[in-house]
Chain A
Amino acid sequence: MKSLGSIRRDFAPWIDPASTPFLRFEGVTKRFGDFEAVDDLSLSIFESEFFALLGASGCGKSTLLRMLAGFEMPTSGRIVLDGEDMAGIPPYRRPVNMMFQSYALFPHMSVEKNVAFGLKQERMAKGEMADRVEQVLKLVKLEDYAKRKPEQLSGGQRQRVALARSLAKRPKVLLLDEPLGALDKKLREETQFELADLQYQLHTTFIMVTHDQEEAMTLADRIAVMDKGRILQVATPAEIYEAPNSRFVADFVGNVNVFEGTVRSATGDRVTIETSGGFDIVAERDVPVETGQKVSYVLRPEKLKIAAEPISGPNVMEGEVWDIAYFGPVTSFHIRLDTGEIVKVAMVNATRQSPLQLTWHDRAFVTFDEDAGLVLTQ
């Protein structure tokens, strides 16, 4: 893929064949009665990686995390962490710690005692323990709240205590179950950056479970998109967004226009697709396709350009403004094409006064470049 790599350019062990994975799921299956929560799943995660498991609820992502923590045993398959098979090791002996979605703070203990709980189990010396607690609380900026009880804290503060507690033992892998799920939007955005900073400072391997694609994109080095107990794609956020390998992934992550069609001609680096609405798309041929093959063409709304006047050239669609939504940074148009399909177009509001004067039921012209979208065969 052309420059769709990690944002941390120096960190990409997954493309280096010489690097050994820190954590491996090998053909892991988990059944609850008849229900297959995780289906023959294999996955490698590298040391110091911030990895996100992304999927809708019930896709098996939490089960995967709980198997790693030791709360569930795989029906078959192996989980190997740092060379050690986790089979038969109870949760209280695993070198991983989890930050629970509900935070699971002990309500009868102060913040300090909560954070020290794990260290106490290790029988750490008193002085060292106090130092460690102080250090971890400083890390999450809660050093002034050590004596408080969880009920005396705000939601955001509780989230930090939960984080501090799971970091205190310096686990080999930190598991985060919907870490920002209970916070309101504003706080979630702030906390996202703090969490990313923290991971960068500590170099601990983080594995996060989330249903929020934005959260996964902001935080993770790599994302695994899951559905029905299987992994559909494992890639960097940019790859997942710009080069999804299937319609499901394209649809799940971000907004997308999907055109179903048949390949009319495939010559050189060009492919022409006739959509079911009878419209021709000329696109770059970055996957091998044959004439007559059924394909989907996926196109992100922000890759389209909209105009009020007719435009010449290939890939021009014509229709009527069906809906407009103004979001501030972008304006989203729904254009009803003359062929009947609805196309979503996102226009960045780069200037305060929009040069484009379009309103409901106006005629509109939509165009896109040949490399704007993606031809998908699955």
Chain B
Amino acid sequence: MGAEPAIDRKRSGDPGTRRKCGFGSRGLFRRIVIGVPYFWLVALFLVPFLIVVKISLSQTAVAMPPYLPTFGDPSTWWSGLQQFSFDNYVWISSDDLYFNAYVLSLAIAAASTVLTLLIAYPLAYGMAKAPPAWRTTLVMLVILPFWTSFLIRVYAWIAILKPEGLLNQLLISIGLISEPLVILNTPTAIFIGIVYSYLPFMTLPIYASLDRMDQSLIEAAADLGSPPLKSFWTITFPLSLPGVVAGCFLVFIPAAGEFVIPDLLGGSRTLMIGKTVWLEFFTNRDWPVASAVAVVLVAILVVPIVVFQRQQARIG
């Protein structure tokens, strides 16, 4: 009963108070707080992205920067605009190399998302079921790897996975294998790298949704005749789905465009799309094609990103 007036005030939004708020110091503060990240996104994401789109519509040239047209002198702007074309997009759609790289990237991202989920879910479940006193420590342990540079951690995997690396030495010394396994420079190494690197992004949202769950729901299910394993599938898992979905997107989206892990661990035979962009940009010095490849990647990933945003909004 006591809470009702407060809710009413919030809902009706009392226009008088709200207007005052806008000019008051709290309103100004709120605008700054919201404005800073927006400014950040526009200046450091949207503007650079529009520049990339612009380059993707240009033609490669032996020049500095290595494409045409450029928009230096305002008198050439109109003729410059007329030179824009979709040639680069036509080009990447006509060469199987790009198509295959996209498909491979999405496939690797999807497979590693599933693998990450299979490892992260039991981990998160164990954390949520641990005694409350331990939980903070366990969450700390999950985010502990972030204290070291991502690059260094991926390099460390080279030392573990290479033929004379730690893993092979261990397996040979305990007599499980006699010849070293070839893991480095294979897709397996990419999976290991992605699963390892993105595990916290899957674990934490799942943990959050499991931790939030009312334990009496499980008791209620048991009380109504449902054995523990069945309760897991009918109650726990469906209620943790928001966390699972969030985790999957947080892994899938960056994994699809991943460059460092396939480059360092995957060798030259596994050509993912991030690597393709890199090759076009630095080896071929074909900035327009590299930009077109990047723009198409964003276009492909926009679909899951929008779905993810909507799903998050619905939960909120």
In the complex, are the beta carbons of B238 and A117 less than 8 A apart?
Answer: no
Is A366 positioned at the interface, with any CB of B under 8 Å from its CB?
no
Question: How far, in whole Å, are A118 and B224 apart by their CA atoms in the complex?
Answer: 4
Given contacts A108-B238, A108-B239, contact A71 B219 (CB under 8 A): yes
Question: How far, in whole Å, are A118 and B1 apart by their CA atoms in the complex?
Answer: 33
Closest CB in chain B relative to A205 CB, distance in Å: 16
Closest CB in chain B relative to A133 CB, distance in Å: 13
Against A, the Cβ 8 Å flags (1 = close, 0 = not) of B40-66 are: 000000000000000000000000000
Which of A96, A106, A165, A166 neighbours the largest number of chain B CB atoms within 10 Å of its CB? A106
Question: How far, in whole Å, are A184 and B3 apart by their CA atoms in the complex?
Answer: 13
Closest CB in chain B relative to A150 CB, distance in Å: 11
Against B, the Cβ 8 Å flags (1 = close, 0 = not) of A158-171 are: 00000001100100
Given contacts A107-B239, A108-B238, A184-B1, contact A122 B216 (CB under 8 A): no
Is A181 positioned at the interface, with any CB of B under 8 Å from its CB?
no
In the complex, are the beta carbons of A97 and B239 less than 8 A apart?
Answer: no
Question: How far, in whole Å, are A69 and B222 apart by their CA atoms in the complex?
Answer: 10
Question: How far, in whole Å, are A108 and B216 apart by their CA atoms in the complex?
Answer: 15
In the complex, are the beta carbons of B235 and A106 less than 8 A apart?
Answer: yes
Is A121 positioned at the interface, with any CB of B under 8 Å from its CB?
yes
CB closest chain-A residue, reference B226: A121
In the complex, are the beta carbons of A121 and B225 less than 8 A apart?
Answer: yes
Q: Which residues of chain A come closer than 8 Å to B227, judged between CB atoms?
A: 90, 92
Cross-chain contact of A91 among B214, B222, B238 (Cβ < 8 A): B222
Question: How far, in whole Å, are A165 and B238 apart by their CA atoms in the complex?
Answer: 20
Question: How far, in whole Å, are A90 and B228 apart by their CA atoms in the complex?
Answer: 10
Q: Which residues of chain B come closer than 8 Å to A94, judged between CB atoms?
A: 223
List residues of A (66-113) whose CB comes within 8 Å of B's CBs.
Answer: 69-71, 90-94, 96-98, 100, 102, 104-108
Question: How far, in whole Å, are A105 and B227 apart by their CA atoms in the complex?
Answer: 17
In the complex, are the beta carbons of A165 and B224 less than 8 A apart?
Answer: yes
Question: How far, in whole Å, are A94 and B222 apart by their CA atoms in the complex?
Answer: 10
Q: Which residues of chain B come closer than 8 Å to A169, judged between CB atoms?
A: 224-225
In the complex, are the beta carbons of A98 and B223 less than 8 A apart?
Answer: yes
List residues of A (343-357) whose CB comes within 8 Å of B's CBs.
Answer: none
Q: Which residues of chain A come closer than 8 Å to B1, judged between CB atoms?
A: 184
Question: How far, in whole Å, are A199 and B1 apart by their CA atoms in the complex?
Answer: 29
Question: How far, in whole Å, are A122 and B234 apart by their CA atoms in the complex?
Answer: 15
In the complex, are the beta carbons of B220 and A100 less than 8 A apart?
Answer: yes
Given contacts A104-B214, A106-B217, A107-B239, contact A97 B222 (CB under 8 A): no
List residues of B (249-290) whose CB comes within 8 Å of A's CBs.
Answer: none
In the complex, are the beta carbons of B224 and A121 less than 8 A apart?
Answer: yes
Q: How many A-B residue pairs have CB under 8 A?
A: 60
Closest CB in chain A relative to B203 CB, distance in Å: 22
In the complex, are the beta carbons of A117 and B226 less than 8 A apart?
Answer: yes
Is B221 positioned at the interface, with any CB of A under 8 Å from its CB?
yes
Against B, the Cβ 8 Å flags (1 = close, 0 = not) of A284-307 are: 000000000000000000000000
Against A, the Cβ 8 Å flags (1 = close, 0 = not) of B206-248 are: 0000000010110111111111001000110011000000000
In the complex, are the beta carbons of B225 and A122 less than 8 A apart?
Answer: yes
Closest CB in chain B relative to A261 CB, distance in Å: 44
Against B, the Cβ 8 Å flags (1 = close, 0 = not) of A139-156 are: 000000000000000000
Question: How far, in whole Å, are A90 and B226 apart by their CA atoms in the complex?
Answer: 10
Q: Which residues of chain B come closer than 8 Å to A118, judged between CB atoms?
A: 224-225
Q: Which residues of chain B come closer than 8 Å to A107, judged between CB atoms?
A: 239
Closest CB in chain B relative to A187 CB, distance in Å: 11
Q: Which residues of chain B come closer than 8 Å to A102, judged between CB atoms?
A: 214, 216
CB closest chain-A residue, reference B225: A121
In the complex, are the beta carbons of B223 and A69 less than 8 A apart?
Answer: yes
In the complex, are the beta carbons of B220 and A106 less than 8 A apart?
Answer: yes
Question: How far, in whole Å, are A91 and B226 apart by their CA atoms in the complex?
Answer: 9
Given contacts A92-B227, A184-B1, contact A104 B222 (CB under 8 A): no
List residues of A (189-206) whose CB comes within 8 Å of B's CBs.
Answer: none
Q: Which residues of chain B come closer than 8 Å to A184, judged between CB atoms?
A: 1
Question: How far, in whole Å, are A92 and B235 apart by their CA atoms in the complex?
Answer: 15
In the complex, are the beta carbons of B238 and A97 less than 8 A apart?
Answer: no
Question: How far, in whole Å, are A105 and B223 apart by their CA atoms in the complex?
Answer: 12
CB closest chain-A residue, reference B241: A108
Question: How far, in whole Å, are A197 and B220 apart by their CA atoms in the complex?
Answer: 25
In the complex, are the beta carbons of A100 and B216 less than 8 A apart?
Answer: yes
Q: Which residues of chain A come closer than 8 Å to B225, judged between CB atoms?
A: 92-93, 118, 121-122, 169
CB closest chain-A residue, reference B219: A71
Closest CB in chain B relative to A188 CB, distance in Å: 12
Question: How far, in whole Å, are A227 and B222 apart by their CA atoms in the complex?
Answer: 29
Against B, the Cβ 8 Å flags (1 = close, 0 = not) of A44-75 are: 00000000000000000000000001110000
In the complex, are the beta carbons of A104 and B226 less than 8 A apart?
Answer: no
Q: Which residues of chain B come closer than 8 Å to A97, judged between CB atoms?
A: 223-224
Q: Which residues of chain B come closer than 8 Å to A69, judged between CB atoms?
A: 219, 223
In the complex, are the beta carbons of A91 and B223 less than 8 A apart?
Answer: yes
Given contacts A121-B225, A122-B225, contact A104 B220 (CB under 8 A): yes
In the complex, are the beta carbons of A100 and B219 less than 8 A apart?
Answer: yes
In the complex, are the beta carbons of B216 and A104 less than 8 A apart?
Answer: yes
Question: How far, in whole Å, are A284 and B224 apart by their CA atoms in the complex?
Answer: 52
CB closest chain-A residue, reference B235: A106
Closest CB in chain A relative to B168 CB, distance in Å: 47
Closest CB in chain B relative to A332 CB, distance in Å: 24
Q: Which residues of chain A come closer than 8 Å to B239, judged between CB atoms?
A: 107-108
Q: Which residues of chain A come closer than 8 Å to B216, judged between CB atoms?
A: 100, 102, 104
Q: Give 6 nearest A-B pairs by CB, closest first.
A: A121-B225, A118-B224, A104-B220, A104-B216, A91-B222, A92-B222
16 more A-B residue pairs beyond the given contacts A70-B223, A91-B223, A108-B238, with a C-beta to C-beta distance below 8 A: A69-B219, A70-B222, A71-B219, A91-B222, A92-B224, A96-B223, A100-B219, A102-B216, A104-B214, A105-B220, A106-B235, A117-B226, A117-B234, A118-B225, A121-B225, A184-B1
Q: Can you show 11 pairs from A to B with CB atoms below 8 A apart?
A: A70-B222, A92-B223, A92-B225, A94-B223, A97-B224, A98-B219, A98-B223, A100-B219, A117-B226, A121-B226, A122-B225
